[in-house]
Amino acid sequence: MITTGKYPNLRLRRNREHDWIRRLTKENTLSVNDLVQPIFIIEGKNKKIPITSMPGVYRYSIDKLNSFVKKIIDLGIPMIALFPYTERRLKDNHASEALNENNLVCKATKLIKKKFGNKIGIMCDVALDPYTSHGHDGILKSNKILNDKTIDILIQQSIIQAKAGCDVIAPSDMMDGRIGKIRKALDKNNFSNVRILSYAVKYASSFYGPFRDAVGSKNLLKGDKKTYQMDFSNRDEALREVALDIKEGADMVMVKPGLPYLDIIRDVKRNFKIPVLAYQVSGEYSLIMNSIKKGLVDDKIIYETLTSFKRAGANAVISYFSTSIAKNL
């Protein structure tokens, strides 16, 4: 029970009168330690290509990564997340490029680790949609996603990424049972210290459009992803997904998208006391950026939205605003 006083003896505005008292009584704060910076990578040299659907976000060729990563390290951001733009010629029905030990993600990981070592953590996305010709996160046959055959490939993808130096394996595919099998394979291959960040709660959302553009899968998707990503109407199901992934060996869990699902972040944190990350996804980012550009809101909204994740219980936030907001923290 919350015990409160009674007006006029209790005046809650007293603690809002001046900046110093507002700072002193603040319940949640945002720091650079709470941020993860996503990076899109592309083949070629000397490339920094703007993503038109995500103002201020770029695809970087690998030779451009070191300077950007150094900037991120200097800001104090603890982790980056790598996402590849895969050329059409490298996409096929079986996501073969995902298993290429010299693919974009592996090359970028090796380069960053060689240059910076453990000064920053590297998160690698484990999913097939950047590599499939049909845009799905799994193997497609007769218009159905094959759960177990997809997991077989995800296991191999995880091992390849771990060998390249990835610190955090992040399965975002939403196949049933993949966390346990990936954990077992990592341990068997002497990668017991490689962490698993499970996209345990990933909703079938309309907020992903700009991301699919960024990784080159937007116009390829056949159908939708509702048979494996969650129904956005569901809340209890999220807790069941998290419970299963923790049991299978997840070190951390993700809720994606972010802002429309603050209630889920709160539920997961309260029920499981496990590190929870939120993903402020591409659609959220683009809506905010375009609103700022049009003068509908000011840029203080960035700090407000990121703080809301902390208030809900998130330990960290993957956000395309990470580098820009870190300068002011």
> Are the CB atoms for 234 and 202 separated by under 8 Å?
no
> Are the CB atoms for 133 and 221 separated by under 8 Å?
no
Element counts in the chain: helices (H) and strands (E): 11, 12
Question: Cα torsion at 262, 123, 246, 97 (round to 10°)?
Answer: 110
202 is annotated as an active-site residue: yes
| CA–CA gap between residue 246 and residue 198 (Å, rounded) | 9
Question: What residues does 198 pair with on adjacent strands?
Answer: 253
Distance of CA 227 to the CA centre of its chain: 21
SS3 285: helix
CA angle, 131 then 280 then 110, to 5°: 45
Instruction: Kindly tell me the sign of the dihedral angle through the C-alpha atoms of 83, 88, 92, 93.
Output: positive
DSSP 132: B
Active-site annotation holder among 202, 225, 269, 310: 202
Tokens 């959302």 locate to: 205
Active-site annotation holder among 64, 91, 225, 256: 256
Cα–Cα distances in Å, from 226 out to 23, 134, 174?
44, 15, 11
> Are the CB atoms for 140 and 148 separated by under 8 Å?
no
| CA–CA gap between residue 155 and residue 196 (Å, rounded) | 12
Question: Token pair of 170, please?
Answer: 């992040």
| CA–CA gap between residue 135 and residue 219 (Å, rounded) | 8
Amino acid at 263: D
CA angle, 127 then 264 then 289, to 5°: 70
Q: Hey, which residues are catalytic here?
A: 202, 256
